């Protein structure tokens, strides 16, 4: 499809009478036809020196001609200074998990190193990647997989890796905190430091995804973590279906959203395939908040024995990276191990986000109904 870009009216040039020219769809600010390259930074149109043919432009041209007449060695015209944007490369990895923790951790490290070679600054691993997705069954034995946050060997290993490669790594793990258990992510900065913890807020409970048996509802609240390369927000799997989660993180300054995930087929209905719905919901978060979004999901067929017989999920991968308009710029398939990398200019995106006014025009005083369960005040 073709791509159309609009210029907000307040950014259109003025004519001599001071009136705005155009209707926000200026030929000089609009691309129609084949989609523009996805690695092109998004920027609101900026018109300097009063616009084309303005008095300011004529003066600039006159000065340039005057300098050119003085010879190459005399007061040559200066080249316009280019603004260096804050460019960040993000990555999503996906792979099939085995029943052996050491193998899965080694696979994650291998793919992180591959992402680093491709230029990634921040690398996302899938949810609960240390093992197969055990929440298909209610089994006391699986509580033995939980480990405390402090001194966690997997977190420590990825702290060393992050420091070595100078990259940021959100690390998903099954957390034990005294008698509580959480589905958690530790945010590791590029110097290997631990920036803190996020605990999954929304806990699902349904056939094949019986997480309420294992996890307490998270108590950290939604957060934004200031890393070396960007301020990021991280939600976990089921959190991705809730727009309040994404908006809360961006309100706190998150410039990129990350969602480690474990989702696939529905054991109770083999005809139900949610992958496109799953992607569209998160594309909406990116577009509504004008921030890039990264989702990492696992692949492979996993069968777990339950009290009612075997339960099987085919995890559909489709890890992806979306740009600030919600358009998917990189996507994996449903069966292969993959590393996706995309670069964004966060300064350009910030300028565009401010130009749209979506955070200027919010009305928190009208949103109190969101604090209720039934919509009643």
Provide the annotated active-site residues. 127, 200, 237
Tokens of 242: 């809730």
CA distance 198 to 187: 8
Query: Are 132 and 302 spatial neighbours (Cβ–Cβ below 8 Å)?
Result: yes
CA 361/CA 348 separation, integer angstroms: 20
Q: Tell how strand 320-322 and strand 231-234 pair up.
A: unpaired
DSSP conformation letters of 188-224? E-TTS-EEEEEE-----EETTEEGGGT-PPP-S----
Structure tokens at 251: 């309100």
> What's the DSSP call for residue 228?
S
Element (H, E) at 66: helix 55-68
User: How many other β-carbons are positioned within 10 Å of the β-carbon of residue 277?
Assistant: 10
| β-bridge mates for residue 257, sequence order | 233, 293
């Amino acid at each position: 499809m073709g791509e159309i870009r609009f210029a907000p009216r307040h950014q259109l040039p003025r004519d001599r009478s001071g009136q705005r020219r155009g209707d926000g769809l200026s030929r000089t600010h609009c691309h129609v036809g084949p989609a523009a390259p996805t690695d092109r930074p998004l920027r609101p149109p900026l018109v300097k020196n009063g616009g084309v043919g303005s008095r300011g432009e004529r003066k600039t041209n006159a000065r340039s001609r005057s300098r050119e007449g003085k010879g190459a060695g005399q007061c040559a015209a200066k080249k316009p200074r280019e603004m260096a944007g804050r460019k960040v490369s993000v990555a999503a990895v996906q792979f099939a998990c085995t029943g052996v923790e050491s193998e899965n951790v080694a696979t994650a490290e291998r793919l992180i190193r591959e992402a680093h070679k491709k230029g990634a600054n921040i690398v996302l691993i899938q949810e609960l990647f240390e093992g197969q997705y055990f929440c298909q069954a209610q089994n006391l034995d699986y509580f033995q997989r939980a480990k405390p946050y402090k001194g966690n060997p997997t977190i420590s290993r990825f702290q060393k890796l992050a420091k070595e490669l100078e990259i940021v790594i959100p690390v998903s793990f099954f957390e034990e905190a005294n008698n509580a258990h959480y589905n958690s992510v530790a945010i590791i900065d590029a110097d290997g430091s631990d920036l803190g913890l996020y605990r999954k807020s929304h806990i699902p409970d349904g056939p094949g995804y019986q997480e309420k048996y294992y996890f307490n509802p998270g108590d950290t609240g939604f957060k934004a973590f200031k890393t070396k390369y960007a301020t990021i927000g991280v939600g976990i799997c089921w959190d991705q279906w809730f727009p309040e989660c994404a908006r809360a993180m961006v309100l706190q300054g998150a410039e990129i959203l990350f969602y480690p995930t474990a989702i696939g087929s529905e054991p109770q209905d083999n005809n139900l395939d949610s992958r496109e719905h799953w992607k569209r919901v998160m594309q909406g978060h990116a577009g509504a908040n004008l921030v890039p979004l990264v989702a990492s999901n696992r692949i492979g067929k996993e069968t777990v024995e339950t009290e009612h017989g075997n339960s099987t999920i085919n995890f559909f991968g489709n890890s992806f990276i979306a740009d600030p308009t919600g358009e998917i710029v990189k996507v994996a398939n449903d069966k292969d191990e993959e590393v996706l990398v995309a670069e964004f200019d966060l300064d350009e995106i910030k300028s565009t986000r401010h130009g749209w006014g979506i955070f200027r025009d919010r009305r928190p005083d009208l949103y109190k109904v969101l604090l209720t369960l039934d919509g009643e005040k």
